Structure 1
Amino acid sequence: MANHKSSVKRIRQDKKKTLHNKYYAKTMRNAVRKLRAMTDKEEALKLYPSVQKMLDKLAKTNLIHKNKAANLKSSLACYINKLG
């Protein structure tokens, strides 16, 4: 266990931040999964901007890599375009 006040505080902060990051990462994965499960093009087009915004925010805060966000947005856009 840590011996210094600063390291104890850092451990406390890390736990809180980890929980915060896990929530947003899981929310993002669920949103992508929900969008990929859609079969109606109009509904998918309505949901896509919010998913895109979420991916951009997570990439900006380094929760996910910027290229991963770009790849996900691109693949989702292709998926939506293929819907009939």
Structure 2
Amino acid sequence: MARSASAAKNMRKDARRHLRIRSQIRTLRTAMRRVREAGSAEEGAEAMKVAQSLLDRAGRKRLVHPNTADRIKSRLAARIRERS
């Protein structure tokens, strides 16, 4: 439990941030799953556009480390190249 008013406020802020970040991460994971589960190379390319944009934004906003975002994009692109 928080010992001071500022600590209590920080806990409230953290809880709100956690909900927002959890939602963003869920959206990101869904986009990556759509790339992996795409049936054809064309579907994969379309899903990759969405996932790439979300990963770039997540890296800029430090939701994930920028290098991690780049690595994930590279691996997803490699999967699409295998299909074509």
TM-score (norm 2): 0.90
One-letter identity of the residue aligned with 2:18: T
Partner of 1:62: 62
Ranges in structure 2 where 5+ consecutive residues have no aligned partner: none
Root-mean-square deviation over aligned CA pairs:
1.1
Q: Indicate yes or no: 2:9 matched with 1:35.
A: no
Report if aligned partners of 2:2, 2:8 keep a CA contact under 8 Å in 1. Answer: yes
Partner of 1:24: 24
Ranges in structure 1 where 5+ consecutive residues have no aligned partner: none
CA apart distance, 1:82 = 1.3
Query: Percent of aligned pairs with the same residue?
Result: 31
TM-score (norm 1): 0.90
List per-residue Cα deviations over 1:5-47 (Å, max 9, x = no partner).
2111111000000111111112111211121011211111112
List per-residue Cα deviations over 1:34-64 (Å, max 9, x = no partner).
2101121111111211110100111111111
Give 3-state SS (helix, strand or coil) of 1:64's partner. Answer: coil
Runs of 4+ in 1 over 6 A off after TM superposition: none
CA apart distance, 1:3 = 2.9
Q: Indicate yes or no: 2:52 matched with 1:52.
A: yes
Report if aligned partners of 2:60, 2:66 keep a CA contact under 8 Å in 1. Answer: yes
Q: Aligned pairs, how many?
A: 84
